[in-house]
Amino acid sequence: MTQLFSAKKRILTLALFLTSCILYAQKTAWEEVAPGVWKAVVGSPDAFDLLKAADVPPRLEAIKRLDEGVFPFETSMIKADTVHRQTHLLFPLEKEEQIFGFGLNFKTVHQRGQILRLHVDHYGGRDNGRTHAPVPFYVSSKGYGVFINSARYIDVYAGSAARKDSENAPEARDRNTDRRWTSRPYSDAVEILVPSEGVEVYVFAGPTPLDAVKRYNLFTGGGPLPPRWGLGFTQRVHKLFTSDEVIEEAKAFEEKGYPLDFIGLEPGWQSKSYPNTFIWDKGRFPDPESFIKELKQMGVRVNLWVNPYVSPESPIYDKILPYTGTHTVWAGIVPDFTLQETKEIFWNQFEKQHLEIGVSGYKIDEVDGYDRYLWPDVAKFPSALSAEQIRQTYGLLVQKQSAALFKKRNQRTYGLIRASNAGGTSFPYVIYNDYYNHQDFITALINSSFSGVLWTPEARASKTAEEWLRRMQSVVFSPMAMINAWSSGTKPWSYPEVADEVKKMALLRMRMMPYWYSEFAKYHFMGIPPIRAMNLEEGFSMDQEQATISDDQADLEANPYAEAVRKEVKDQFMAGEFLLVAPMFTGQSSREVILPKGKWFDFYTGDYVGEGEIITVTPGLDKIPVFVKNGGIIPMTDPKLHAPKKGEKINLEIRHYGDQQGTYQLYDDDGETFDYEQGIFSWREIKVEKQKDGKFKGSISENEKNKPNNIDQITWRFMSK
Amino acid sequence: MTQLFSAKKRILTLALFLTSCILYAQKTAWEEVAPGVWKAVVGSPDAFDLLKAADVPPRLEAIKRLDEGVFPFETSMIKADTVHRQTHLLFPLEKEEQIFGFGLNFKTVHQRGQILRLHVDHYGGRDNGRTHAPVPFYVSSKGYGVFINSARYIDVYAGSAARKDSENAPEARDRNTDRRWTSRPYSDAVEILVPSEGVEVYVFAGPTPLDAVKRYNLFTGGGPLPPRWGLGFTQRVHKLFTSDEVIEEAKAFEEKGYPLDFIGLEPGWQSKSYPNTFIWDKGRFPDPESFIKELKQMGVRVNLWVNPYVSPESPIYDKILPYTGTHTVWAGIVPDFTLQETKEIFWNQFEKQHLEIGVSGYKIDEVDGYDRYLWPDVAKFPSALSAEQIRQTYGLLVQKQSAALFKKRNQRTYGLIRASNAGGTSFPYVIYNDYYNHQDFITALINSSFSGVLWTPEARASKTAEEWLRRMQSVVFSPMAMINAWSSGTKPWSYPEVADEVKKMALLRMRMMPYWYSEFAKYHFMGIPPIRAMNLEEGFSMDQEQATISDDQADLEANPYAEAVRKEVKDQFMAGEFLLVAPMFTGQSSREVILPKGKWFDFYTGDYVGEGEIITVTPGLDKIPVFVKNGGIIPMTDPKLHAPKKGEKINLEIRHYGDQQGTYQLYDDDGETFDYEQGIFSWREIKVEKQKDGKFKGSISENEKNKPNNIDQITWRFMSK
C-alpha cells in the first residue's frame, strides 16, 4: 500500500497540529464597543460583511439606558483560530443552558443540538439553516447573545459535537446493553465554521435573555417604527387585476365594513414581469397617478410587488447592464446593489415611476431563493464580491435602499421582503413566504423575536371556513395583518359562514392600534421586539424536554438510532408587553396554554384563568385565546376602517386587567413622517392605581408642551372584577 | 447613504472583473493520460484528492481495448478559472442533451436541471447531493463523461443556471400573460464550484454513454471481482445474538432449504459497541474461532459489523489516541486513516482478532453521516487534512485498507460500506442504508451504474407478506442478496404465506450464479457495470419528458412557480448483458415496462413479449418481471444452498432466448483467491447458432490448457419456440 505521506511530512504535520492546538488556545481580544457589547476581530475578516451591508449606526444612547451587563464568558473558554482558510470558533455551553435564534426557523425554537448552514434561501421545510433570514446571532437562556458578523455561508454546530479533550467529554457507553446509550452524547460548545480567513464576532451581555436581545436590536439600529397605516389591515389583490378592479375591491371593503389601510398590487401592475420592467402596464393601469389618488381619498395606500430582476424591455436595462452579475434570474439581469451606479439607475426609476405618483411601499420578492431560480454561486459581480456574499446580503441591500427613497421624502414606509439578515433590524419590512403550514408560521413568529426580524403568517386561501378564520385570527396578532390573494383572489368575506367573525378580528386589529403602535415604538427606542418568544418572558419556565429513549423502547426500523423526541413550546407567544397569544389551528377545539408565573386574565372577559400553570382552553371558533398579565394595561381605540391620519385625534379606551396596579408607556407622534427623529414624539405614562376602597383609578401623565397629542376622549375599563 | 466602495476602488474592481473575464476564457490544457481519457489541471489543486485517497492504478490494457474515443468538446467552450479562492468550471450542454450520474441519487435519474452539493452523508430523503457516494462524475447522453477529482464539498449546477452573455441565453418572457413562461429558463451548461484554488478534471470519451462509463470504471481500477460466495445469499442476524443462536439460525436455513453463503454479525459480537472495542464479547461469543470453523463446515462464512469509532475500552485505544481527530463520534475517537501509524494499529487488531480466526468480511457502518453523529467540519486531524477532506474520503480509505488485509492472504472479500466516492470502483463493497422506500431503492440501483459503485436494496422487515416477497424479488437481482435482520430478526420464512416463493427466489439467485459471476468479471475486466440504467442500453430511448405547465394550469397555491412535473424511467434496469428487470412494488398488480429496440422474451417462459414498445404486465405475486434480449444466453446451474467451493465442479444449464443467434463470454476461475491476477482465469465463448433446419445448436469453446475449468455437465435449453 502506498504511503500517503512520507515520514518527514508526517513529523511536520504532527508538529503543525500541535502548534495549531497551541494557537487555538490563544485568547481572543475583546473590545467593549458599546455598553455591554464586545467585539473581537479574529484573523483577517472580509472587507464586506453583514453590518457593512446594512450600514446602520448603533443606537448608543438607548443602549446606555439598559441594565449594566457583564462579559458572559471566561475569555479563555472561547476558542478562535484560522486554519484551512477558514475560521473556527468555539463558545462554551453549560449543562442546562438552552440556546435560541440563528434566524427564522419554522419547526424548532430550541437550537441546542441543531446543525445549521446559515444560507439565505426560501425556507425548504427543514430547519437546516436555509431560510429567509439566517441570522448568525444566538441568544442563551443564561442571558447573553453571540453574533458572527459574516456574509458567508456559516456552518453552526449548536451544541452538537463533542471534543475528546474537553473536560465535559461525554462518557462512552455500550450500545449493546446500556439503556442509557444515546445517539446524541453531551456537547459542551457551540462550534462555528466561517469560510473566510477571519471574522468579527460580537458578544451581547444580559443580564436576561431579553436584555441581550434588546442590546443586539439597539446595536443594529433598533426596530423600525412603522407608519400607523402599516399596522392596519392590508389586502393584496389578484396579480392580473386592473386599476378598475382594484378600486372596486377597495370600495367593497368600505361598503362591507372591513378595514383596509393599504392595498398590494401583484406583478401584473407592470407591463412585464419575471423579469420586470418596473413601469406600469398601460392596459391594466392606464392612469396610475389618478388611480393612486382615488385610493388615497378613500383612505387606502398602494404597495407594489417587485423583484429586482430587470427585463430587457425595461427602460433601465441598457444603462444598468454593466452593473449586473454574469447570470440571469428568469432571464432578467441581476443588479449589483453594492455599486453606486446601480443604486442610482435602479432606484431612480422607482422614484420617477412610483414614489412621485404616491406609491407608499413595496413587497420585494425572490431575493432569497430557491437556488434553482437565483444566480449560482459561480456567478460573478462587477463589484468583485462573491456570489455568496451577494446572496447573503441582497435582502439587506434592497430593504435599505428602497426605504431610503421614502425617507428622503420624510415619509415612513412599511412593506414586505423575502430575505433579510443580521443588521436589518431597523428596516421597515416584514418577511413572508410561499410556505403555508399554520403551526410552522407561528413558530417562525416566535423565532423572529430572537433575530431582529419581523414575520407575517399571511393568510392566502383555505380549504374550509374554520381554517380561514383561524388564520385570520393569527394574522391580526402579527406585525402585518395581511391577506395575500395574488393567486387565490380571496377576500376577507370569501367564507360566508365566518365573514362576521373575520370582520370582528380585523376591527379588533384596528381597535388595538394604540397598543401595537406603542409596542413598535418600544422596539425602536428600546429594542424590545413586539412579538416575543415565551422564552424571553420572565417567569416562563419550560425547559426543553427530551424524552430519552433506549434501543429496546424504540422502533429501530423507523428510528435506527433511538433518537429522542424533542418537546418544546412553539405555539404560543407574547404580543407586546402584556398579552399572551395562543393560536388555534384547524381541527382543534381545545388546546393547552402554558401560563408563566403570576396571575393571568382572559383578554375578552377579564376573568382570572390561572397562574404559573398549564391550563386547557376551549375558546370556540370565534375566539383566539389571548391572556393578559396581571396589572396589564391595553390602550385601545374605536373600530375604524383606516388608521388615523396625521393629526387626527382618536378616542382611547384604556383597559386594565387583574388585581394589581400597573403602568404603561403610551407612545405618540404624527404617525407618518420622520419628524420623531427630531424629537417630535411623546411618551405618556398611563397609571392604574388601587384606591383605598380597593377600586382602581386610572390616570395619564400630562402632555408635554410642543409634543404630539392625538388623544381626544379617554374611557377607562377595569376588566377584572 | 455611505458609499460601499470609493471611486478608485470601483474602477479597480471593474478592471479586475474584465480581466477575470478574459482569464476565464483561457483555454484549459488537456493531456491524454489513457486512451480516450484526458486530464486538465486548473490552478493549484489540493495535494489530497479522491484518486489519491483511493490509490488504485488504472487498468490501461483494458482501456486500450475499448473503441477509440474523441475529445467530446470544443476546448474553448470549457471554462475554468480560480477566483475568491474557489475554482469555477463550466462544461457546455447541447439542447437535447441529458446527463446522469453525480452519485447515488434515490429519486432522480436525469440530473439535468439539478443543483447538488456533493457531500458524503446518509441519504436524507432529497436528491441534493447529500448521499453515501456523491461521486463527482457525470455521464452525457451524447457519450462522454466528466469527473472532478476533488475531496471537497463540490457545488454542481447541472444545467440549471443561465449566463447573460451566452449565445444560448434564454429569452425573457412576460409572466403576466405569456403561457410559455417557465420558472426554469433554458440553461446551456454544467457549472461547478470547487472550494479550492485548483482542481484536476478528467474527461472520458465515448462514443456511447456506456463506453464513457466503462472508460471511467477501468480508469479507476475496474469493478471488483467478488468471491462466488459473495454473490450467494446472506443473512444478518439480530444484533444481540449469541454464537449458539447464530449456529441455530444457520442450521435452520439448511434444514428449511434456504441458501446461505455468509452470515452477518451485528454490533453485539463485540464486548462493547458505539463506540467499539473490536474484540469478541466473551459472554455472547466465548469461542469465536470454533464458532467460525463450525459455520465454515456448514458452508457458511462470517461477516462482522463495525464502525471505526474506538471505545476507551478497546485494547488499541491508548495507542491510537494520538492519531485521531479532535472530536469524537458516540464518544469514540476517530482514527485518521491517512496516517501509516493509524493503519498499522487499527487494522493489526482486525487481523489478530478477526482474520486470523477466519472472518471473511466486514460491514463498515456510519462512515457517511448524519452530520449530527459524525465529526463537525471544525474538527482537526493529525494529518492536517481538513475535516471536509476526511469526510469525503473516509469510506474510500476504510474500504481500501480493510480489503487489503484479505488480499495479503490471497483471499477475496465482499462486504458492505455506507460511504464511498469516485476512485472506489474496484473496492469489493456494496452500499446499503437505513432508508427503506422500495421504489427509491431501485432508483439508487439504477444510478449506481453511472458512478462506479454497488448498491443493495436490502430487505429488513415488512408490513405484509406481499411487501416481503416483492423486496426479496428485488434483492436477488442486485449486487448483494441480503436480509438485514439486525433489529427485526426477520428470516426468509418469517412470512409463511410467501415462504415458498421466497425460497424459490433465493434459489433462483443461486441458479443464476454463473451468469452473475461472469457479469461481475466483465465489470472487473471490461468496466461494464453488472446493473445498468436503461439509459446505458442501446436501443432505449425515453427522453425525459417535462410536461410544461402554465400559470393558469397550475395550482399556484401549492406550486407558486408553476413547476413542471418530471417524467423519467427509474423503476426498471438491466441486470447483466441480457436481462431487463422491472420490479413490482407493494400494492401493484400490473405495471408498464419499456422495452428497448429489438425483440424481448419472457425469462420464465421464453415467450415473445414485444419490441421497442411499452407493454403492460400482470405477473402475479410470485414473479418479478424479467425479460431477455433477443439471442440472450443465460448460463445457470443447479439450485444449491451454497456457492461452489474452490475447485468444485458444477453443472450448467445454458438457456437461450429468442429467434436470433447469440454469444456469451463465460468467465471462470477459482472463485476465492487473487490467482486470477496471475492469469489463472478463463473466458470461454458460448455460442448458439441457427442450423439450416431452423433449429438452434449450442457450443462452448474448448477450455485452454492450464486454465480453470469448473464445468461438469452442460444442458442446453432453447426457451423460445
Which of residues A24 and B367 earns the better pLDDT score? Answer: B367
pLDDT, one tens digit per residue, over B192-243 is 999 999 999 999 999 999 999 999 999 999 999 999 999 999 999 999 999 9
Among A164, A181, A557, select the one facing B327 at the smallest CB separation.
A164
CATH 2.60.40.1760 residue spans of chain A? 26-167+193-219
Nearest to A529 by CA among A571, A482, A478, A492: A478
Alpha-carbon gap, residue B537 to B540, rounded angstroms: 6
Cross-chain residue pair A164–B371, CB shorter than 8 Å:
no
Mean pLDDT of A48-53: 98
CB crowding A446-461: b at 16 or more within 10 Å, else e: bbbbbbbbbbbbbbbb
CATH 2.60.40.1180 residue spans of chain A? 633-718
The residues that bridge with B194 in the sheet, in sequence order, are: B87
* DSSP conformation letters of B513-548: HHHHHHHHHHHHHH---SEEEGGGSTT---PPEEE-
Pairing assessment for the beta strands B86-92 and B79-83 based on DSSP bridges: antiparallel
pLDDT of residue A644: 97
Nearest to A308 by CA among A356, A341, A344, A346: A346
Among A171, A311, A327, select the one facing B331 at the smallest CB separation.
A171
Confidence of residue A25 (pLDDT cuts 50, 70, 90): very low
Nearest chain B residue to A551 by CA distance is B487
For residue B657, cis peptide bond before it (omega within 30 degrees of 0): no
Residue B241 exposed, middle or buried by CB count within 10 Å (0-12, 13-18, 19+): buried
Distance from CA of B583 to the nearest CA of A (A): 23
Q: How far is CA A717 from CA A483, A604, A653, A720, in A?
A: 32, 12, 7, 9
Q: How many CB atoms lie within 10 A of CB A649?
A: 10
Report whether A539 contacts A594 (CB < 8 A). Answer: no
Nearest to B717 by CA among B660, B657, B666, B663: B657
Nearest chain B residue to A327 by CA distance is B163
Nearest chain B residue to A241 by CA distance is B176
Cross-chain residue pair A331–B171, CB shorter than 8 Å:
yes
Mean pLDDT of A40-48: 98
Degrees to nearest 5, angle at CA A669 with A667 and A670: 150
Lowest mean pLDDT among A320-324, B23-27, B484-488, B577-581: B23-27
Cross-chain residue pair B1–A404, CB shorter than 8 Å:
yes
pLDDT, one tens digit per residue, over A258-294 is 999 999 999 999 999 999 999 999 999 999 999 999 9
Report whether A218 contacts A119 (CB < 8 A). Answer: no
Mean pLDDT of A698-719: 94
pLDDT, one tens digit per residue, over B370-380 is 999 999 999 99
pLDDT, one tens digit per residue, over A134-187 is 999 999 999 999 999 999 999 999 999 999 999 999 999 999 999 999 999 999
Distance from CA of B550 to the nearest CA of A (A): 13
Which of residues B705 and A215 earns the better pLDDT score? Answer: A215
The residues that bridge with A198 in the sheet, in sequence order, are: A43
Cross-chain residue pair B13–A384, CB shorter than 8 Å:
yes
Return the residue matching grid coordinates 451587563.
Answer: A69
Nearest to B596 by CA among B533, B523, B520, B655: B533
Answer yes or no: is pLDDT of A4 > 80: no
Specify the 3-state DSSP secondary structure of B400.
Answer: helix
Mean pLDDT of B436-443: 98
Nearest chain A residue to B57 by CA distance is A2
CATH 3.20.20.80 residue spans of chain B? 229-514
Cross-chain residue pair A3–B267, CB shorter than 8 Å:
no
Residues 6+ apart with CB under 8 A from B492: B235, B253, B258, B472, B483, B499, B502, B503, B506
Alpha-carbon gap, residue A168 to A188, rounded angstroms: 6
Nearest to A673 by CA among A454, A408, A426, A480: A408
Q: Which helix (H) or strand (E) holds A263?
A: strand A262-265
Q: Which helix (H) or strand (E) holds B402?
A: helix B387-408
Pairing assessment for the beta strands A531-533 and A262-265 based on DSSP bridges: unpaired
Distance from CA of B595 to the nearest CA of A (A): 34
Alpha-carbon gap, residue A40 to B54, rounded angstroms: 42
pLDDT of residue B554: 87
Confidence of residue A3 (pLDDT cuts 50, 70, 90): very low
Distance from CA of A386 to the nearest CA of B (A): 7
Fold of B633-718: Immunoglobulin-like (2.60.40)
pLDDT of residue B553: 86
pLDDT of residue A584: 98
Q: How far is CA A338 from CA A325, A449, A703, B334, in A?
A: 12, 28, 45, 44
Distance from CA of B232 to the nearest CA of A (A): 25
Please state the length of chain B.
721
- A-chain CB neighbours of B3 within 8 Å are 340
Q: Which helix (H) or strand (E) holds A600?
A: strand A599-602
Answer yes or no: is pLDDT of B511 > 80: yes
Q: Which three cell numbers stand for residue A457?
A: 403568517
The single-letter DSSP state of residue A171 is P
Output Rg (C-alpha) for chain A, integer angstroms: 26
Q: Which three cell numbers stand for residue A98?
A: 438552552
Cross-chain residue pair B375–A161, CB shorter than 8 Å:
yes
Among A16, A270, A460, select the one facing B557 at the smallest CB separation.
A460
CB crowding B497-524: b at 16 or more within 10 Å, else e: ebbebbbbbbbbbbbbbbbbbbbbbbbb
Cross-chain residue pair B273–A175, CB shorter than 8 Å:
yes
Mean pLDDT of B533-547: 79
Cross-chain residue pair A339–B10, CB shorter than 8 Å:
yes
Cross-chain residue pair B176–A281, CB shorter than 8 Å:
yes
Report whether A5 contacts A14 (CB < 8 A). Answer: no
The residues that bridge with B716 in the sheet, in sequence order, are: B654
- B-chain CB neighbours of A268 within 8 Å are 176
Nearest to B264 by CA among B489, B87, B586: B489
Interface with chain A: mutation pick from B1, B2, B3, B4, highest number of A CBs within 10 Å: B4
Report whether B621 contacts B678 (CB < 8 A). Answer: no
Return the residue matching grid coordinates 441486470.
Answer: B575
- A-chain CB neighbours of B57 within 8 Å are none
The single-letter DSSP state of residue A280 is B
pLDDT of residue B706: 86
Which of residues A546 and B65 earns the better pLDDT score? Answer: B65
Residue B549 exposed, middle or buried by CB count within 10 Å (0-12, 13-18, 19+): middle
Confidence of residue A552 (pLDDT cuts 50, 70, 90): confident
Global ipTM: 0.95
Interface with chain A: mutation pick from B155, B177, B377, highest number of A CBs within 10 Å: B377
pLDDT of residue A1: 39
Q: Which three cell numbers stand for residue B672?
A: 476465492
Of 3.40.190.10, 2.60.40.1760, 3.40.50.800, 1.20.1050.10, the CATH number of B26-167+193-219 is 2.60.40.1760
Confidence of residue A576 (pLDDT cuts 50, 70, 90): very high
Q: How many CB atoms lie within 10 A of CB A44?
A: 12
CB-side neighbour CA atoms (13 Å) of B587:
4
For residue A288, cis peptide bond before it (omega within 30 degrees of 0): no
pLDDT of residue B8: 61
Backbone φ and ψ of A231, nearest 5°: -95, 5
Cross-chain residue pair A274–B170, CB shorter than 8 Å:
no
Mean pLDDT of B577-600: 97
Q: What distance, in Å, lies between the first and last C-alpha atoms of chain B?
A: 86
Total beta-carbon pairs less than 8 A apart between chain A and chain B: 252
Answer yes or no: is pLDDT of A348 > 50: yes
CB-side neighbour CA atoms (13 Å) of A688:
25
Please state the length of chain A.
721
Nearest to A190 by CA among A311, A286, A98, A293: A98
Pairing assessment for the beta strands A599-602 and B608-611 based on DSSP bridges: unpaired
Return the residue matching grid coordinates 381626544.
Answer: A712
Report helix angle B209-219 to B513-526, nearest 10.
Answer: 80
Residues 6+ apart with CB under 8 A from B457: B438, B441, B442, B444, B445, B471, B474, B475, B478
Cross-chain residue pair A191–B273, CB shorter than 8 Å:
no
Answer yes or no: is pLDDT of B643 > 90: yes
Mean pLDDT of A35-39: 98
For residue A308, cis peptide bond before it (omega within 30 degrees of 0): no
Specify the 3-state DSSP secondary structure of B254.
Answer: helix
Q: How many CB atoms lie within 10 A of CB B534?
A: 23
* DSSP conformation letters of B445-472: HHHHHHHT--B---B---SSHHHHHHHH
Nearest chain A residue to B268 by CA distance is A176
Specify the 3-state DSSP secondary structure of A103.
Answer: coil
Q: What percent of chain A has pLDDT over 70?
A: 95
Lowest mean pLDDT among B42-46, B345-349, B473-477, B704-708: B704-708
The residues that bridge with B99 in the sheet, in sequence order, are: B140
Of 1.10.10.10, 3.20.20.80, 2.40.30.170, 3.50.50.60, the CATH number of B229-514 is 3.20.20.80
Alpha-carbon gap, residue B275 to B271, rounded angstroms: 10
CA A588 to chain centre: 27
CB-side neighbour CA atoms (13 Å) of B455:
33
Cross-chain residue pair A338–B373, CB shorter than 8 Å:
no
SS3 readout for A185-248: CCCCEEEEEECCCEEEEEEEECCCHHHHHHHHHHHCCCCCCCCHHHHCEEEECCCCCCHHHHHH
Q: What is the mean pLDDT of chain A?
A: 95
- A-chain CB neighbours of B380 within 8 Å are 17, 20-21, 83
- B-chain CB neighbours of A184 within 8 Å are 372
Alpha-carbon gap, residue A386 to B110, rounded angstroms: 30
Answer yes or no: is pLDDT of B21 > 80: no
Distance from CA of B96 to the nearest CA of A (A): 20
Alpha-carbon gap, residue B614 to B608, rounded angstroms: 14
Alpha-carbon gap, residue B341 to B386, rounded angstroms: 18
pLDDT of residue B28: 81
Report whether B42 contacts B204 (CB < 8 A). Answer: no
Cross-chain residue pair A328–B163, CB shorter than 8 Å:
yes
Distance from CA of A536 to the nearest CA of B (A): 27
Q: What is the mean pLDDT of chain B?
A: 95
